[in-house]
Structure formats: C-alpha cells, structure tokens
Structure 1
Amino acid sequence: LNSKRPAESLHIKVGESLPSESTEPQTETAELETESAEPQTDAAELQNQSKEPHTETAEGDPKADFVTTKTLRRVIEELLRGRSLEKLTFGAFLSELTDALKLDAGDLADRRSEVKVILHKVTRKELQRQLVEHVKKKRNDASTAEVPVFSKVETAQVLLVYVVTFATPTDAEARRRLESFSRADLCTMMRTSLETAQAGRAEEHRAVVEKCTIFLERGSGAAGHHAHVAIKVTQPTRWKPWNDAIFQACGLVANFSSCIKGGYHNAVRYGFVPRPGKALEDLDPEPFTYPDSHPPLAEAMHRNFNSDAWADETLAQTQSRLSRGKSAPRFGPTDLWPVLVKLNLRPEDPAYEAQLFQYAKQSGGAPMIDYLVRNHDTLKGLGQKLWLLQEAENHVIQAKKSRLKFLLEATERSCVCAGRWGRAARQNLEANEISEEVFTKAIYDALQHGRAKGHTIALLGVGGNEGKTFLLSPMKDIYPPGTVIGSPSPSAFPLLELCKSRVAIWDDWRFDAAIIPIALQLQLFEGLAVTVNRPQNQFSGHEIWQGSTPFFLTGRLDDLMMVKAGVSCTDLTMLRKRLKVFEFKRSQTNPDITIPRCASCFAKMVLRKGNPRNMRFITPDLQEQAPGEVVVDYF
C-alpha cells in the first residue's frame, strides 16, 4: 500500500456481523496462522457504504459513526501490512486512516481511544508476521546456500586438483567389482594408475599424489554403491592417460571433474558436507585420507587464506548476493586486510590514516568511507591485528627461536658500519677499564639464561655521556620489532608491554618507587613470577607473568647507593645483589654520532667473547690482525 490509499482500493464488505471480542484468536500466533485465510473485501462495496442512508445523531459525526469496528480493523491491517514500523506515530497514522476512509479531518477524533486499541493489537500481529517471514527467508537462504560447482574437464586440461567419481555401474559384474574395493584399495589403485600413466616421462617430471580423500557412499537397492575421490597431485597432470590407466587396472569407468572455484578444500567439501539433495545420513561416515599426515577433514574443508584469497572471496560473495537481488555485504574490519597489504601500509606510518582515507576516496567506495569514518579511533589497533594476521606464520617461526639463535643469525648480516661500531665499542670499554671478555660474556649469559639473580646487566655512569646506550642499542635491530621494550612510563599499567617482550632495555632507569615499587623490581630482577596489571576494558583479568626476558639497565651509579622515599638501605643492598654492575666513569668529550648501530658487529663481538682469534666471528675492524686458531664455539 502507498502511504495514502483511496477508499475505492480497500476491500471492505458491508453488512457483515461484528465478531465479539471472545471470538478473536486467543494468541497472536493463532491470528498469524489464520490471517492468510481471511477473505479479501470487495472494493466496490465500500462505495455502497457511503450511499446507504443514515440517521444523524445529536452527538458525533454521522460518517465516522457509520465506520464499524471491524471496518477500522480491516483498514488498519491493510495500511500496516508490509510497512516498516520503526517510525510509526499515532498522529500521522490517524491522518492516513482518515484519508483511507475518505473522512474529513477530525471525524475520528471521538474514536481515538478505540483506534489506539485496534492499532496496538494489529501492530503486534504485524510485527510477529514480519518476524516469521524474516526467519523463513533466512532458512530458505540457508537451504539454498552455494555448494562447490563442478564441471567435466576438457581433454586438454592439466590440473592439480580433481574430483573423481566412480558411479554405480550398470553391469552386474562391474558393480560387484566396485563393491569389492575398500577405501584404502581405491586410494592405492589411484596412486599406482597415476604411476602407470606417466611411465614414459622423466623421473623429475612425474607427478605423485600429494593427498587424497576417499568417500565410499554405500547405497541401497537400485542406487548401488559409488565413490568420490578428492585428489591433489604434486604438479599439473593430464587426466586422460590417468583415466585410461584406471580402466585398464580395474575395468571401472572414472569420471574426472574439476571444481570451477578450484582448490582441494572444495573437493573435500563435496563429499564431506551435506547439501541440497545429499542428507547427512547419506554421506560416508568413515572417509579414508592419505597420507597419514593428512589434516582432519574439518580443517581440510577450509580454504588456506591470504590477503589476495580473502579479496577474491569477498568479491565472490558480493557478486553472488547482487545476482540474487540482495544488497552487497557490509564493509567489515577484515576487508581492510587486502588494502593494507596492497599499499604496504603499517600503523607506525605517520600518514597511516590519511593514506587509508585517500584510498577509500579513490577506490574503496562509499561503504569503505563510511566504515573508516565510524571507526577512526580504532584504525591503528585494527591495523596491528591485521598485520599480525598477515605475518602470523613468520611470528610463529620467530617465537620458536631462542635469543641466541637471533644473535647467531645477526652474524650472517652485512656490516653497516665498516667496522666503526666495533672499534668504538672496544675503545669505550678500554677507557672505562672494563674487560671486553667479561662484558661480552655477561651479555651472552643474560641472553642465554634470561632474567635471573646476577644476570640483570646494569651499565651505571657517574656524570653521563659515557656511551652506555651506544653499547646496547644494536639489540634493537637483532630482535623482531616490538619485542625489545624500553623504559616503562608512569601509568596504571607500566609493565603491560613486558608480556610480549624478548629483551628489555631500560635507559636512564631510576631505582626508586616512582613508577614500579621497589619490591616488584626485586621480584623482576630475581626472576620470580610477577602480576602484570592490564586494563579490564581490553582484557579479562590480570596476567601472572613468568617470562625469561633479560633486563639491561643504564642509569646513575649514585642512584643505586642513595636512600630515597620508598627505598630503604636494605632494599638497595638486595638490589645490588641481583645486578651485574659495570661502572662507567669516563665521559666522552666528542662522541661520533655518525656511527650507525651495527647488529652484525655486536653479535660477533658478543659471540666472540673477547677472543680476537675466534675467526668465525671476526669483525672488519679485526681483519688486519694476524689470524690465529679457531677456538671452540660457545654457541
């Protein structure tokens, strides 16, 4: 119905007796079920209503009084059916109702309470009807969900993935032969026939079965038994010679098909997931998989995603919905994944948000623009999550490496300082009368054992500018970004970054209770488990952290000796026992700030442990010295 309908378009019968309130259905559900059976009214008879004589009373409008309760109900139902009820107001609807009944404005003023009661009942009924219709529509969409579509392969096609079907043979002997095969027998036959089909090919060009799944569906009666084989080979293979070899081996006809969307996961889904025409009880309850390392089918049925595959999947869903007359899917957080990878845009970039908005204006479309504006405050956090998703495999590999493994890998990098960093580091240690062997071994032990009593390295100076940070800074280039944390800042959660760290370098640290209580510092440097407070609007509960992150501190020597608020003399004594202190007493008058921090030279210096004759970890500044014997490697 339009917002205003003339009375001629409403089907209302005259002379029908009004049903009593007790005859109405007892529940809204019963009303919904009987609604479709209600007779449609005759539009022409409404005009007869206005022509029938009536007697004008002293009170009320004669035309309004002539409209019966049942007529009001029928007209209200017609006006409400199928319309959005979110912004329905009584005043506006009363005007619509007056126009639909061809009454003058104000004719229904005396019947407002009656109209309200009827409108309330009909609105509840219409809301329930729309809800049921919505649920039915969802169920219909689910029952008609897309399944992988397969097509017969062309003779010249060379593919990696096939779906091979052994249909029920019409010949009785062939049928008995197929029924005699077990799932393992079919798998063996597929593999040996592939080898036979490639007998004339060179060994390096032969394909083998990488993985396959055998679905043996045992029918009953005329349906017979049939099998589906989802199979993937190591390199593209022609199916025709393979098919001929199968027939020669067992006399069975194999039908090779290709999945239009491709992928071994779709081939597995065909035999593993119920679909229209194939109920769950009709599927193979015990499929056979090859090899033994084959993933569970609940995992193999899913696609291996990357950013490009996600973009393709999103595009396919959009095209599918539009082809069925539906709106495109909403732009979601993961839809930014392909965009960030395509632009190589990271949250650390100063123009991160601006570049996203620029891309959205040029290529993203209105949904992306709307999403970015509504979620502007969370874009950086979302970007970090999406890059973690993109580089998840690399993060897993890095997490399994030890700190010394990173150090060893750094020795294989190219030197970026031409030996200047190593030379300056040794000169600094000599100027402060610190043994290179003792210093490098302490760093090595801290990286190997992690935080423990006596393995927390403290480089403490007297007047500042002694080059303490210079000696430790290359570790920031050795370990993955975000895993080398700096000094905590004053906040309610000063140790929050500690949970994902591999190394902690706290520059200009003060041994007081201003940021971290001294008792908690003693626990940290002792290697004990500590409670890391976390914001409860982002996490659930606090974390008991037991990590082995080693601590490297720089600061003032007198700060470790001075009693202050919250730090007693006993606390300082206990603190000194937990630290490995190196005193720097000579300031650098004119340090060379052009020397880059060199991960390669630092790693070789630490692994060499002060022995210049260890040729495996020789640095460019030591190349001119006479080489000696190679010492036993500590690593």
Structure 2
Amino acid sequence: MDPVEPAAALPEVTQDVPDADTLKEVAGRLVRDLDLHQCSIKECRAKVAVACGMEPDGLEARKDEFSALLKEVVESLEAKKASQPSSCSEELGAECNKPRRAYLVTLSHTDKEENSDGQKLVAPGTYTRAQVKDFFLGALASTQSSRELPLTFTHMAVFQERHASGEVHYHVAVLADKSFRFVALKRQLLAAHGLASHWSGKTDGYAGCIAYCYLPSPTKAVEELDPAPELWPSTHPPLSEASRGYVSAKNLEVHREEQRRKRAAKGKGEQRVREVDLWPIIIRENILPDEVCGEKLMSYAKRSGGRALVEFYFANWDKLPAIVAKSWKTEKVEDLVAAAAQSRMDILAGACSAECTCGGQWADFARDILCQNGHNPVQWCKAVTDSLLAGRSKGNLVCHAGFEGNEGKSFLFRPLPLVFGEDNVFVTPPKSAFPLLGLEKARVVWLDDWRFNEDIVSWAALALSSQGRRICFPAGHLRYTKDDPIFITTLQADLHALKGKLKQGDVDMMVKRLKVFEFKHKVNIPSQVAKGCKSCFANFVLELGQARSHRSEPAKREATSSGETPEPKRMLCLAWTVDDVCRYIIHLELGHVIEAFRENGVDGRMLASLSEADLISELGLKPLQARKVKDRLT
C-alpha cells in the first residue's frame, strides 16, 4: 500500500492491556508503512502488540477484535486516500497486486519534477511510442538476470492519448508468457526514465487491455483514439482481433448468468435459450454423444436448469444428439485443427506413445496371423506404410482376401479408427442414394467385408479412386480430390466375382491395382485383443514398415555441370506422371516429402529439369536427399 503521508513517531505505550481506541490509533499509524498484501494479519497484530509495549503474542486473545478493528482502519485510510486529488500516476487508485499475465499500464502526465520520495519525474510526452516500447523491454531485461526461467513479453501495444490541454499520456498493454508481479518493472521505469506508472488488470486479459484503448466509449470518442499505436512484435495480430477475448465454455456460461441477473434487476425473465448455451453444460456435466445423451440433458435441466432449459430440450429433443456432438467438437476444435494439419504418418507416430489396451498381445497375434498365411510381417507393414505415405494410387491399395471368414483379415485393420479417430475413417458404404457421403471428411478409407458391386458404387468411381483421380459425387455436386489411402477386406471368391453390370475385364483390371494378401487359416482371438490396440498397431507397423531394405542400388552416374539429369536418364522418366514420381520418392525412403511433390505437380518431365538446388529451395529437401533423388533416377 502506498503511503498517504509520512508516518509520525509512534507514542510510547506501556500499559499491559491497551483499550480499543489505543489499538486503533497505533494500528492506524503502523499500516501506513506496511504493505498489507505482503504482511499477514498475524504479523500486523504482533507489530501493534510490540508498539503497545506487549509481547508479540500479547493480542492473541483479542484477535477477532483486532481483525475487525484493522478492517475499520484500512477502510478509513482508503476512503481518505480516494478523496485526495491525484497529481501523478503513482496515485491513480488501487493497483492490481495479484500476479497476472496481462496488464494495462498508464503513464500519466505530471507537472511535478519529483515524487514524494525525491525521485525525478519526466512527462511521458517527452518520449515517442517506440521509445516507450523500448523502455518496457529494457526494464524487463534488466530485472530478469537473476531468474532461472526469465520472464518474457509475448505482445505489447503502446497507445498515445492527449488531454484536453494537449498534454500527452500513454496506455501500454503488455502480455507475458506467464503470470508476474509488476513492482520491479515499475521501479525500473521510474529510476531509469522518470516514468511513474500505474498497473491494472482486466478481467478478460490482454484483449480487455487492447479493447480499452482501441474501442470508443461514451466517454471517449473515436477521434480521441490513437490512430497509429506501436505494436510489438511485428507478428502482433491486428487490433480488430487482439481486442476480442478467447471464448470458452466457462466464460460463455459466466456471461449468460450475468445477463440473467441484470435482466432480473430490471424485472425481466431469463433470456431465450440458444443451442450454444448448451455447450458449457455438456462439457461441465461430461455428457457424451451416446444413445442416452438427450435423457441426460433433460435430467440435468429438470434438476438444475430451470424452466427455459426444460422447454428448449422438450422442443428440440431430436436435435440434442447433434448438439452434443457439435459441442464436443467446439470444445476440442484446436486439437482437431492440429490433427488435420498432421500427416498420416505423424498421426501414426503419435499413436506409438498411447496407452496399451491389450497387454502387448495385439502384435503377437498380428505376427502369427501373417506368418501362418505365408506373409512376411515386414512386407505387410511396408505395404501399410507405403499406402499411408502415397495415398490412393495404383499398387498401394492394400487388400486382405479371405476364403471362408474368421481368418483375422479385419483384425489387422481394426486399430485404424483408434489411430485416426472414428470420424476420420470412412467405412464400408451402405446401399443408398449417396453411398460415398462423408468420404470427403475422412483421412483413411476402410472397406471392411467389401464386395465389388456397381449397384453400390459405380465402376467409374471405383476405378478413378484406385488411381488417385478426382471423383464427383453425389450427382456431381462434390469433388473428391484427396489422396486418402484405401484398405480393403473381402473374400477371395468375391474378389473376382461379377456384380451388377461389371465385365470380367473390369474386375481383372481392378485386381491388378490392389496389393493382395490372402488369408486361409482361421484364428481365435480373445475379445480384449480383437478390439484392437492403438499403441501396439502403430509400433508394430512403424518398427517393421520402416526397416531398411537391402536392395541393390543402381550404378551412380554423373550429373551435368548444371546439376540436371543427363539425357539418357531424362528420356526414361519424361513420361512419368505425378503418381509415378511419388512412387519413385517413396522407393528412395523419402516418403515424408511427397506432399511437396504432389502440391507442385512434379511429373517426370519437371523432375528431369530440376537441379539439386531446385529440389532444396523449392521442394524443401535437404542437400543429401536432393543428391539421392538425382543420382538414383533411372
């Protein structure tokens, strides 16, 4: 607490049991020099007891009386302080002493040359916005040298305002990487630059600090706002964005309750319930999108939600499951966006650290199933990783063909929804008007127990899909251009069977595009293992699928002085498509960079013309990777 006036000498009191008036007088003089945010009531009671000639614990028996008395003294001092006119920013009201990440700092104009402690004061208008910004960064740097984990500012905005007299003051919004107390910075600004500052916090954090300076109000016209504030760093978001706070389920619920109380004060009833108002309730009550989520919501509404909520649920009963699902997507939208930005292989690698749910048995069963059917587990894992890397393309559609069923062909693919998420795996389409609806949102396609049937999916759509080509559906309104890998389980008999209007040549052509693994031996898998295991699947596939092959390498040939492919080698790859180039890149075990080749449409002719420098600068390869691509081009 800042002192209101110099403390007078304390009276010498020697009585053993001071009365209430004496305690009040001594406490009133003491608290002016105490920081009550750092000094506890017990410490304050001990100091008053000593000042009254008693032992430090002499007032323990009267602690309730002393607490009430101290509260009265503090309120009296605060009232006196508030009634005094302030002449500098040191006295702009009670400052926030709770550690915060964001502060609004005011540098007010002052005509004084010194403050009450004799420190030099400088009018803020003496400095520019950029200088004020540098002063704050310098004050931060000079106060963090002794910290093991130094505090850093992440954002800052300096706003200039003018009084009616034309004198300048500043508002500075600062945001740090963690909560901090401002006292050290405040002292450094005063000592180094003569700037007296007042630090306060906003309930909505940095956005509230920015909004205070950026948005007009009934007492601040648009013309009075700073048209060119100093923003730091250069990546600082626009003020139109920075002035809007983060919206969460919790603060949305708080806002609605505040509005309910304000309406009640005006004699009005609760506002109409909207779908978004269910979001906080669903998250807080952990109501999942299952078959009884509507009943759970109504049970809560009857118990604690009030009439408006009950009426909303009753009128929108059929929509409740969709609202619950939408609420959880909203709650986890940042995670969903981050996952969408990851490659399929990144997601698979991330699943390696997931908790095992099968006691390590899934990989043992997978290995046994493959070996019993004459398949090398390394080859199967490589086929899966190649498919995940290259996406849907000729030769990269992994197909399990059984003979009677129960051979474990679906067991090997069952962890796919666990790894990529149920909503991101498109499963076998039903026979309906729009069988492929939802495919556009998937990351992986799993056609489990599939039958090649033109009555469900047209042959043209299936053929285009197997080549990585564009598909239009339904009725041409949606274009599917993604490269989601396709995994298939079917029966050997159905793999070659004719369905609908298909001809034998059509079926044979499709089969040639698949990488088929046949399964003949029946297996009996425990139920807890049959469900699949995210962690074991990911570790099994990556450990074996990325094992180095020892194929012989083609002889190394020299490049031209320009770094381009020599003419004999150019002629061999000029006819390559983009898919051919991507397969070549995967063959070199550089599958993680094929997205750049696809995005830039690199076909054989372009690849032949690219130099190693082009591969590095334009497609993001490392020097050794670029050399490998050019040297082994055959």
TM-score, with length taken from structure 2: 0.66
Contact kept, 8 Å, 1:161 with 1:262, in 2: the verdict is no
Matches within 5 A, 1:203-242: 203-204=147-148, 207-218=151-162, 222-242=165-185
Count of aligned pairs between the two proteins: 457
In structure 1, distance between residues paired with 2:96 and 2:337: 43
Offset at 1:610?
Answer: 7.4
2:380 is matched with 439
Contact 2:400 2:519 (8 Å CA) reproduced: yes
Partner of 1:287: 229
How is 1:351-390 mapped onto 2 (pairs within 5 angstroms)?
351-390=292-331
Unmatched segments (≥5 aa) in structure 2 = 1-91, 115-119, 550-588, 593-634
Give the Å deviation of 1:379. 1.4
| CA positional deviation for 1:218 | 4.0
CA contact (8 A) 1:152 1:258 kept: no
Provide the rounded CA distance (Å) in 2 between the counterparts of 1:542 and 1:160. Answer: 49
CA distance 1:274–1:285, shift in 2 (3 Å): same
User: In structure 1, what is the Cα distance between the partners aligned to 2:186 and 2:533?
Assistant: 60
- The residue type paired with residue 192 of structure 1 is G
- Is 1:595 aligned to 2:557, yes or no? no
**For 1:483 and 1:586, how far apart are their aligned partners in 2?**
31
> Identity over aligned residues, as a percent?
32
- Alignment partner, residue 192 of structure 1: 138
Matched residue type, 1:191: L
Partner SS for 2:291: coil
List alignment gaps of at least 5 residues for structure 1: 1-150, 535-540, 615-631
Q: Deviation digits for residues 213-245 of structure 1, max 9, x if unmatched?
A: 11112456x242222122234444444554343
Letter of the 2:495 partner, please give it.
L
* Per-residue deviation, 1:586: 3.5
* Structure 1: distance between partners of 2:539 and 2:152: 45
Change (3 A) 1:551 1:209: closer
Equivalent residue runs for 1:20-39 within 5 Å: none
Cα-to-partner distance string for 1:370-401 (whole Å, 9 max, x where unaligned): 11111112112122221111001111121122
Find the counterpart in structure 2 of residue 427 from structure 1.
368
1:270 aligns with one of 202, 208, 212: 212
> CA offset at residue 354 of structure 1?
0.6
> 1:213 is matched by which residue type in structure 2?
A
SS of equivalent residue, structure 2 residue 405? coil
Name the counterpart of 2:20. Answer: none
1:162 Cα offset (Å): 2.6
Name the CA distance, whole Å, in 2 between partners of 1:611 and 1:229.
Answer: 53
Change (3 A) 1:561 1:587: same
Amino acid at match of 1:246: L
SS at match of 1:243: helix
Cα distance between partner residues in 2 of 1:382 and 1:218: 50
Who is 1:464 aligned against? 405
Q: 1:169 to 1:155 in 2, by over 3 A?
A: same
2: CA distance between counterparts of 1:172 and 1:418?
A: 75
What's the counterpart of residue 163 of structure 1?
Answer: 104
Picking from 414, 423, 431, the partner of 1:490 is 431
Q: How does 1:499-578 map to 2 (within 5 A)?
A: 499-533=440-474, 542-578=477-513
Task: Give the aligned CA root-mean-square deviation in angstroms.
Answer: 3.1
> Counterparts in 2 of 1:5-154, with a 5 A limit?
152-154=93-95
What pairs with 1:335-414 in structure 2 (closer than 5 Å)? 335-347=277-289, 349-414=290-355
For residue 561 of structure 2, what is the aligned residue in structure 1? none
- For 2:357 and 2:122, locate their aligned partners in 1 and report how far apart those are by CA, in whole Å: 73
Letter paired with 1:287: P
SS of corresponding position for 1:361: helix
Task: Decide whether aligned partners of structure 1 residues 431 and 255 sit closer, same or farther in structure 2, where only a CA change above 3 A counts.
Answer: closer
Matches within 5 A, 1:301-316: 301-316=243-258
Higher alpha-carbon Rg: 1
Q: Structure 2: which amino acid aligns with 1:545?
A: Y
Q: Identify if the C-alpha distance between structure 1 residues 226 and 571 changes in structure 2 by more than 3 Å, giving closer, same or farther.
A: same
User: Structure 2: which amino acid aligns with 1:525?
Assistant: S
Change in 2 beyond 3 A, CA 1:181/1:530: same
Equivalent in 126, 131, 152 of residue 180 of structure 1: 126
What is the match of residue 620 of structure 1?
A: none
1:238-292 CA-partner distances (Å, limit 9, x unpaired):
4455434333333343333333x35111111111001102111211001112223
Matching residue's letter, 1:286: A
Secondary structure at the residue paired with 2:447? Answer: strand
Structure 2 counterpart SS, 1:504: strand
